[in-house]
Structure 1
Amino acid sequence: MPANRIDLEFGEVIIHDQILIAKLDEGVLFDTESNQKLLDLGAEIFKGEDYGYISHRIHSYAVDPMVYRKSAEVKNLKAIAVVSENEITRRNANEVEKKFYKDNNCFEVFKTLEEAVEWIKTRI
């Protein structure tokens, strides 16, 4: 499945087709600086082509919702998905994080990675 895997100081990113799938480490704070590293990675890999981003939340960590303001400015980032088996994590993403992603692009929350990948493919 994965075409490429990149290790970062706060987790790993897997490039699958036109999708960045991030699995962040337990206990990290995903802030605007970390987000910028992912956005720079997307710009480098996809070179202006449309792509999607999946936050595969296997571990527990904190997300600064301000990251979504910058992400919404990226024209070729067409969709963001959050994947978690944890009901509280999904609810938080839906009720809090989603409100910060103010853009015509899409933000959705899923229970499985497969559902998120299929949804992202319909958006790019």
Structure 2
Amino acid sequence: MNQLYEYDFGVIEVHDFYLKAVISEGVTIEKEISTLIISIANKHFPKKPFGYITHRIHSYSVNPIVYLEVAEIENLVGFAIVSENPSKLENSNFEKFFIKKSTKAFSNLDKAIQWVKELVEKKIDVT
């Protein structure tokens, strides 16, 4: 891990080719939080392809409008949703309608990281 950001709303980890977010229980992700996460991404991956992994350990909600901002991040190549809870993974099917990037749900963090790595490597090979 390269850097760790801790906030009241959760923790953001910056790794070589992805950001991982663990959002706190009961939080609603609105524009302000989304803007902060995007600024972290822009700081660490200004022109480099990267993935975003949301590790859903806790229950929280996301304003779907936030995904429109996420779609604007040109170098974001994939959005992985990780949860061991099957109903949370079911909810990810709804989110896919709003996320205009490659999106996939996983019950295992390591598999999500591998998927993101493959997307990043493909993007690097193409450019």
TM superposition score normalised by structure 2: 0.90
Q: Distance in 1 between matches of 2:30 and 2:82?
A: 18
Within a 5 Å distance, the mapping from 1:74-85 to structure 2 comes to: 74-85=73-84
Unaligned 5+ residue runs, structure 2? 121-127
SS in 2 for 1:58: coil
How is 1:84-103 mapped onto 2 (pairs within 5 angstroms)? 84-94=83-93, 96-102=94-100
What is the RMSD of the two structures over their aligned residues, measured on CA atoms? 1.0
Counterpart Cα distance in 2 of 1:116 and 1:32: 25
Instruction: Could you list the structure 1 runs, at least 4 aligned residues long, displaced by more than 6 angstroms after superposition.
Output: none
Q: Which deviates the most, 63-72 or 113-122?
A: 63-72
1:1-124 alignment runs, 5 A limit: 2-94=1-93, 96-102=94-100, 105-124=101-120
Corresponding residue pairs, total: 120
**Structure 1: which amino acid aligns with 2:36?**
K
- Per-residue deviation, residues 33-84 of structure 1 (Å, max 9, x unmatched): 2111111110011122111100000011111122111111110111101000
Question: 1:32 & 1:81 partners in 2: Cα distance?
Answer: 20
1:40 is paired with a residue whose SS is helix
Note the C-alpha offset of 1:119: 0.2
| Identity over aligned pairs, percent | 37
> Which segments of 5 or more consecutive residues in structure 1 lack a partner in the other structure?
none
Distance 1:60 1:101 in 2: 20
SS at match of 1:53: strand
